[in-house]
Structure 1
Amino acid sequence: MEPQLLIFDLDGTLIDSRADLAAGINHMRCHYGLAPLPLETVSGYVGNGVRKLVERSLQGAEVDVDEALAINKAYYAGHLVVHTYLYDGVADGIAELVKAGHKVALLTNKPGEPSRRILEHFGLADRFTSIIGGGDVPNLKPEPDGILACMEAAGMDAATVWMVGDNYTDLAVAENAGVKNAYVRYGFGEERGYKADAYFASFSELVGYFV
């Protein structure tokens, strides 16, 4: 296979971050005297950026969203990888993809700074041609800004680009940017009627497809 650019989502694709995301949300809710939310409830709110996550998690409570967002961000910044871990096969798989001549990039709606810190923690940051998070480009997924920036940084055109993720936002952004998409079934997102060009049950299966 000729060299491809694989643009990965982060939460639910490379890492399982549900416990730390839920801890940050419930710390914020506790500040306002609100009961904690179950892990699965918070997980279902992930995918459209941290502001949407906070808004959904407040569930209509009459509080200042900007203040709540700041509380959540401050707590989460100090607790990024308490329980967060790489999915099986990710560390070795990224290395295999790069060794095979492919390029890898990251595009997430999570803010850019914590995304880079998480990849640095796991020793992966240097593998990526670009790491783009919320706030690094004008618009979040599913707008195509991030994919276009990743393509420019890698010097690749749409014919050899894949967006890899676990959520409908990843499928939609690929469609909007005119690139192929791969859906990983082990994450915590949902397809919402979008269709992928390829489906994978594990990260190792994905690597085997490209290597």
Structure 2
Amino acid sequence: MKRKYDLVIFDLDGTLLNTSAGIFNSVRYAEKNMGLNPIANERLKEFVGPPPKSMYMKVYGLDEEKAFEAAKFHREYGRTKAIYEAVLYDGVLELLKGLKNRGYKLAVSTLKGQKIAEAVLENFEIAKYFDVIVGMDEKESLTKCMTIKLAMDCVNVSQKAVMIGDSQYDHDGATEAGIDFIGVTYGFGFDNNYMHPFKSTDTVYGILNFLEG
């Protein structure tokens, strides 16, 4: 049977890994080192997905220079501790193995810092399944669409690609890049009880059904 896609692009936070604990702790670490007033626990989830510098500007009202400094502390915790606080979602390893065995090219497109993204995937020994990992640069100059297009360029796939993610950033990036999107509602960005205007699944196991169904 002819495959619909040649390239499957995954988001990282909330799609491959539950990284919430490490991200929350990264925010608290930045708050402490920057002398910021702590935000309510309920607001910490806002930091899952978006690039940190923009979030420190939005949530704490910091100027770009201070937000860049806060993001440096955020990533420092991410590189040294948060990568060990993540949890691999059930079924991810089996899915990646199965897709590689079927001949798919696999990629990661994330707004997480490049070095942290590579480190956390290496820690779970799943980096080897991806043909390319594209993360955010330190200046936070990339959009989600740009990371998707970079991934596609790196593996020489121009059209037959699909983005899998758990947030509006992922959906909008895929739309802008001109590729299909599959939403996962077990992550952080999408409500499982809402009827979404795109294909969605509440389990990792449901992803394959959309890819080959």
**Which of these residues, 73, 76, 99, is aligned with residue 75 of structure 2?**
73
Change in CA separation of 1:190 and 1:205 when aligned onto 2, cut-off 3 Å: closer
Q: TM-score by structure 1 length?
A: 0.86
Ranges in structure 1 where 5+ consecutive residues have no aligned partner: none
What is the match of residue 156 of structure 1? 157
1:1-150 to structure 2, matched below 5 A, reads 1-2=2-3, 3-57=5-59, 59-60=60-61, 64-135=66-137, 139-141=142-144, 144-150=145-151
- 1:151 is displaced (CA, Å) by 1.5
Q: Deviation string for 1:180-209 (max 9, x for gaps)?
A: 000001110148x9832x211111111243
Q: Deviation string for 1:138-193 (max 9, x for gaps)?
A: 5221xx322222122222231x21011001111111111111000001110148x9
RMSD between aligned residues: 2.5
What is the match of residue 177 of structure 2? 177
* C-alpha distance in 2 between matches for 1:81 and 1:73: 10
Q: Which amino acid aligns with 1:171?
A: H
Q: Percent identity?
A: 26
Q: TM-score by structure 2 length?
A: 0.85
Change in CA separation of 1:38 and 1:122 when aligned onto 2, cut-off 3 Å: farther
* C-alpha distance in 2 between matches for 1:39 and 1:188: 15
Change in CA separation of 1:153 and 1:34 when aligned onto 2, cut-off 3 Å: closer
Q: Give the match's secondary structure for 1:182.
A: strand
- 1:50 is displaced (CA, Å) by 1.9
Q: Give the match's secondary structure for 2:181.
A: strand
The count of residues paired between Structure 1 and Structure 2 equals 205
Q: Which amino acid aligns with 1:80?
A: A
Ranges in structure 2 where 5+ consecutive residues have no aligned partner: none
